[in-house]
Amino acid sequence: MSYGKYVYEYKKNAVNGASPLQLVIMLYDGALRFMEAGKHAMAQRNLDQQNTNLQKAQRIVCELMATLNMEVGGEVAKNLLSLYSFCFNQLVEANIYDRPQQVDACIGVISGLRDSWVKLEELQRTNGQSDAVAQAA
């Protein structure tokens, strides 16, 4: 088995064994990684890499929006949808107009959300709570 195959299997097992909260955190991590890479490419004037990375971040934000359970999540899901919509629009504009400050705004929002989900996941792990909150998002 090649090295790439081992990495693929490791990632697949990490996703398959993750709780709903951990999956959301993984999505946040991916979005942040692509936003940072897109911002770096923007600074280097590498438009191809900028576009590729910021579009990957946009797709992750879309996935986060699509997985919201508006019926169960209530006000929390509505607020998350608003934040995700804001980030998506900011990423599109940042990519079109080469505005790193808009990427920074998204990084701030997603980082804050990620920190909250990490704390929630830690609480769930220590208290053995159900995934009811994760089902809302």
- Tell me the per-residue pLDDT of 23-76, one tens digit each, with 9 for 90 and over: 999 999 999 999 999 999 999 999 999 999 999 999 999 999 999 999 999 999
Q: Does 10 have pLDDT greater than 90?
A: no
Please indicate, yes or no, if residue 104 is contained in any of the structural domains: yes
Segments forming the whole domain that contains residue 71? 19-136
Please indicate, yes or no, if residue 127 is contained in any of the structural domains: yes
Please indicate, yes or no, if residue 6 is contained in any of the structural domains: no
Please indicate, yes or no, if residue 81 is contained in any of the structural domains: yes
User: Which amino acid makes up residue 105?
Assistant: A
Please indicate, yes or no, if residue 126 is contained in any of the structural domains: yes
Model-level pTM? 0.83
What is the pLDDT at residue 37?
Answer: 98
Please indicate, yes or no, if residue 13 is contained in any of the structural domains: no
pLDDT above 90 as % of the chain: 75
- In total, how many domains does the chain have? 1
Please indicate, yes or no, if residue 12 is contained in any of the structural domains: no
d(CA 103, CA 92): 9
Of 78 and 126, more confident: 78
Please indicate, yes or no, if residue 1 is contained in any of the structural domains: no
Of 3 and 77, more confident: 77
d(CA 64, CA 137): 8
Of 112 and 15, more confident: 112
CATH number at 96 reads 1.20.120.340
pLDDT above 70 as % of the chain: 80
